[in-house]
Amino acid sequence: MQHTQCANHIFSYTLRGGDFDNAGRISTSLKRELRTREYPPHIIQRVAIVLYEAEINVVSYTKVGYFFAYCRPNSVHLVIKDKGKGIDNIKLAVQEGFSTATDEIRRLGFGAGMGLSNIKRNANVMRICSKPGVGTKISIDITSRNHYGDLIMDITVNEIQQKTNFELLTTKADCSKLITGGYVGDMLSDVNANGKKGNIWITILTHPNAVAVASLKDFSAIVVAGGIKPRDEFIKRADEEDIPVLYTDLSAYEVVVLLSSLGVTANH
Amino acid sequence: MKLSEIKDLLNADVIVGEDMLGSVEVETAFASDLLSDVLAYAKERALFITGLTNPQVIRTVEVLDLIGVVFVRGKVPQMDTVELAKRKNIPLLRTKCIMFETCGRLYGAGIKASIEKVD
């Protein structure tokens, strides 16, 4: 298991398939981190159980699994992506008692078809995407809030601007918008296909067409990175379309690192 | 009830945690050979009674903040299980009693279920 801590809010781990000896270490390691950060005990406990079951799944059924934990105020968002055999029928797999476990897994005390249902039981929201033969992605929200509507982060464009000190180029556009996630790209067709509503979009593009895409996708803001400052036409159009534009000469990669540390996650 | 009393009740050997016998206080227990069920239902600070002997037993104890483990049916935990328990300061006992007998003796002595039933 390798562990990387990215600023304060995001933890990532890697676990290899078959590594039964280390299954459970990610869970206990993140548990310690959450304790240090004084998360409520019921959140910590649920995160620990979910991660542990996910670790068992990764060592049992995959070649490798990548674990991401986004720790936000009052909630933890977990994403587990694996390269594995995938799940043929997700509905069936989530049912208690359904199992494709081998004898080895059963000897360990698992494999009774409780893994995914245990994860679901402890999650406020669970999403599974899987492709047989390719792998599985599970994203899970664990929160103390009873009502969990959309995946909106507790951070606004304004706060991003204040915390990063990026230069705000627009003057009229609304900076109080909440951010739903981040997307990076300089190819408009890709951004158009994969950006999500409310995203903060990081790009080095300075052509006004970029604003049109941001508006079409209803992004919360654009961060122009890389050091080429957009011209007046770009900014004027952004103000008209109500898209705040932040500017920095940091590279797109550096911007991602900064935004990650503020709790902005990728789209899931 | 102190862990030392549990040791006597079950005629148990202490594998790890001789020094904790007098300090660890047990009020509840959970018995199972299915770790997923333990993860699903056990509450923190329960004593874990099991016939499983692999290191995942210790991981489970850690994840749930359980208090210690009693291996039943005379099962001997694997070396790496013992090593992990030592590192994590988790007491391990071993009894020749079967799980039913172990639970019966503890229940009779006032240890309560970690969770009475599953809804």
* Range in A127-131, A197-201, A259-263, B63-67 the model is least confident about: A259-263
Tell whether the model's pLDDT for residue A3 goes beyond 80.
Answer: no
Query: Per residue in A13-66, pLDDT tens?
Result: 999 999 998 999 999 999 999 999 989 888 999 999 999 999 999 999 999 999
Contacts of B56 in chain A (CB under 8 A): 20, 23-24, 56, 108-110
Express each pLDDT in A59-91 by its tens digit. 999 999 999 999 887 789 999 999 998 999 898
The CATH number linked to A245 is: 3.40.1390.20
Q: Which of A114, A117, A122 to mutate to test the interface with B (most CBs of B within 10 A)?
A: A114
Rounded to 10°, the helix A252-261/A157-164 angle is 110
pLDDT confidence of residue A5: 43
Q: What CATH number is given to the structural domain containing A110?
A: 3.30.565.10
A107 part of contact set with chain B, CB < 8 Å: yes
| 3-class secondary-structure state, position A4 | strand
Can you give the pLDDT at residue B14? 98
Residue in chain A closest to B33 (alpha carbons) equals A109
Whether A121 and A180 share a structural domain: no
Distance, CA of A16 to CA of A55 (rounded, Å): 9
Q: Are residues A11 and A33 in the same domain?
A: yes
Q: What count of CB pairs under 8 Å joins A to B? A: 68
A126 and A68 in a common domain: yes
Q: What is the mean pLDDT of residues B20-42?
A: 95
Q: What confidence category does residue B33 fall into, taking pLDDT thresholds of 50, 70 and 90? A: very high
* Residue A116, domain extent: 2-143
Nearest Cα residue to A158 out of A146, A143, A170: A170
Report the alpha-carbon distance of residue A261 to residue A8 in Å, rounded.
6
Q: What pLDDT, on a 0 to 100 scale, did the predictor assign at position A8?
A: 55
pLDDT of residue A183: 96
- From A143, A168, A188, the end of a domain falls on A143
A264 Cβ under 8 Å from any chain B Cβ: no
Query: Is A110 at the interface with chain B, CB within 8 A?
Result: yes
pLDDT(A227) > 50: yes
Complex ipTM: 0.82
Bridge partners of A181, per DSSP, are A199
| Residue linked to tokens 């206990």 | A28
pLDDT at B74: 96
Domains along the sequence of chain B with CATH = 3-113 (3.40.1390.20)
pLDDT at B19: 96
Q: What is the pLDDT of residues B86-102, one digit of tens each?
A: 999 999 999 999 999 99
Classify residue B118 by burial, with Cβ atoms within 10 Å: 0-12, 13-18, 19+: exposed
Reading the block at residue B42, the tokens are 């056990």
Domain co-membership, A132 together with A183: no
CB contact under 8 A, B63 and A27: yes
| A49 close to A26: Cβ distance less than 8 angstroms | no
